[in-house]
Amino acid sequence: MNDETIKRIRKFTEDRDWEQFHSPENLAKSIVIEAAELLECFQWSGDEYDIQHVKEEIADVMVYTQNLLDKLGLDADEIVNMKMTQNEKKYPVEKAKGKSDKYDCL
C-alpha cells in the first residue's frame, strides 16, 4: 500500500480511539475472520461471485493487516521481501516450475 493509504487507515483508527482494542491477538483474529468472509464469497461456486464483495473483504484483510504491522512495529516491504527470499530458496525455479508440490516433496 502507498503511504497515503496507510495514513488514511491510521487516521481512521486514531479518530475512533480504537487502538485500545488492537492487541496483536485481536488483530490476528480479525484477519482470520475477514479472510473467512473472503472465502465465503466463493463458497458455492468458484466461477460465480460478486467482485464488489470480494474487493471489500480483501480490503478488510489488508486494513487489519496494516493495523497489526503498526502494532508490532513491522514494515510490510521488509517482511515480504524476507519471506520471498526464503520462498525462492525453498522453491527453486528448476524444481518447482509448473508444480504445486510442497517444497519438501520437490
**CATH number of residue 17's parent domain:** 1.10.287.1080
* Overall pTM > 0.85: yes
Q: Are both 65 and 79 inside the same structural domain? A: no
Report which of residues 104 and 82 the model is more confident about: 82
Q: Are both 56 and 85 inside the same structural domain? A: no
Mean pLDDT of the chain: 96
**Which contiguous run of DSSP H or E holds residue 49?**
none
Confidence at 21, pLDDT banded by 50, 70, 90: very high
- Rounded percentage of the chain residues whose pLDDT exceeds 90: 91
Q: Are both 8 and 34 inside the same structural domain? A: yes
**Which contiguous run of DSSP H or E holds residue 27?**
helix 24-40
Q: Are both 44 and 95 inside the same structural domain? A: no
Q: Are both 21 and 63 inside the same structural domain? A: yes
pLDDT tens digits, 48-81: 999 999 999 999 999 999 999 999 999 999 999 9
DSSP state of 8: H
How many structural domains are present in the chain?
A: 2
Q: Are both 52 and 85 inside the same structural domain? A: no
Amino acid at 72: L
- Rounded percentage of the chain residues whose pLDDT exceeds 70: 100
Cell of 3: 503511504
Cell of 21: 482494542
Cell of 49: 461471485
Cell of 91: 522453491
Residue 46, pLDDT > 90, answer no
Q: What are phi and psi of 85, to 5 degrees?
A: -60, -45
